[in-house]
Structure 1
């Protein structure tokens, strides 16, 4: 990478780490130690802070890494050049996860993915099964939203040709609607401090974030995962908040039924982000799953 983004230097915290993988300078934090890697993938518009209350408890028996996914947090936001493949497509992001596991010094990882992070975790399990030891899918978008969105080809061509115009329009919309959109992820609003939203927003809107997010939008396509889920062999826990409004609990139940041997955990009194709204319950559920599946044993 030619230059280090200024915000990485200015906003890095004492436990911040950086690693160059797949054209990105990825910001991550690492806790615990052990032969098993737990890799946390947060959802869209957020950052690794989404795991702030569960990272240390889950790192008691494993090495745990939480990282800022592309277009989020302190991870760099490279812009595609010419006709090069977009680094922001779902395929490219899943390849990035697989490469990150290897770059961190592991052969496999237990992927814990929230929302669109769950989508990418599933994609990684399908494209790189040798890198995935287990899956925890939290309100994963598989049958709606990100995984089923696609801009019609004629419109896509027009948007690419008028990048500056459409990028600015999207920027204005995100700035205006950001707070309202994030609040919908919680079931009980009193559990969401305003400072948390402010921090997410500040860390999302760094560098050329609007251009990078627009590139991600242009690279979004229908993933057609329905018929592929039966190919997932990794032990899987599907988790949903009882009152999830972003990904309906019925979709998580359908996901658990589609993946062979998958377990389903419904978290009561909770919305889209159990790791934030009910962290103790979340940790207990994940620990129970890892224990029952014996996933914390040494990597084969």
Structure 2
């Protein structure tokens, strides 16, 4: 399948009853794209452009506390760091009236997407996980490391935090402009959103629920991903029944930004094989 980047589609904005902002493109079967922990709707924009140009209606969310979305609502104990993003996404899909939906998550967004697919099988038409993981709750060391990032962001501020971390997200062959965009996106993260995301990751291990994922699944990973890595993506693909696996060459952890056309080619081929 030959996939090309088409002229930019019109981007509309839709806001849910809970203050979740979505960038909306195109028309056709619905696709919800969930960004990574250091991103925003913009991180999925180039991929959404390609998918929408091939007949899909794409929704790129700003997670709670990211981009144009409202900060996470306090939990019953008053904490804003305990947000069940899986429930937020399931409610969002229902509010959109988009069930069943093609659900695509990158990195942290993939952890959320996995949780949604396992808990709400009727709501998910297909699942795409890009450079994702089971979550940081797989062991105490990873959970502590994830929670430590909250204090790091609080101490350094967004720009310095991004300068220290963003370079690891892309391959050595990454276009300089894209690398700057990845860092710029991370530099704009807000502490309430990031803290809730990091806490979600720290307490989440989707490993036990992977076998329960019923949606047709495609697992993608940048061949040069040094953050979550190829082995973790292979583990996901092996554990989810019938899942397909694909490598994005010359791309790192931010493969959906580095190689949106190549990523879209994998996804569109997958959907075509499903008869979608």
Partner in structure 2 of residue 44 of structure 1: 37
Q: Tell me how large the CA RMSD over aligned residues is.
A: 2.8
Specify which of 121, 133, 136 is matched with residue 129 of structure 1: 121
- Write the mapping of 1:141-290 to structure 2, written as runs, cut at 5 A: 141-142=133-134, 145=136, 149-150=142-143, 170-175=153-158, 176-188=160-172, 190-193=174-177, 195-197=180-182, 199-201=184-186, 203-204=188-189, 209-218=190-199, 220-290=201-271
Q: Which structure would you say has the larger Rg? A: 1
Partner in structure 1 of residue 27 of structure 2: 33
Matched pairs, number: 261
Partner in structure 2 of residue 66 of structure 1: 60
In structure 2, the CA distance between the partners of 1:272 and 1:228, relative to structure 1 (3 Å rule), is same
Report how far residue 128 of structure 1 moved: 1.4
Any runs of at least 4 consecutive aligned residues in structure 1 with deviations exceeding 3 A, and if so which? 84-89, 144-152, 166-170, 211-222
5+ residue gaps in structure 1? 1-13, 160-165
Deviation sequence 1:151-205 (CA, Å, 0-9, x none): 59xxx9xx9xxxxxx977641235333123122110026514265146414542x
5+ residue gaps in structure 2? 1-9
Return the alpha-carbon distance in structure 2 between the equivalents of residues 174 and 141 of structure 1: 26
| Secondary structure at 1:52 match in 2 | helix
The TM-score, its normalising length taken from structure 1, stands at: 0.77
Return the alpha-carbon distance in structure 1 between the equivalents of residues 62 and 92 of structure 2: 12
| Secondary structure at 1:180 match in 2 | helix
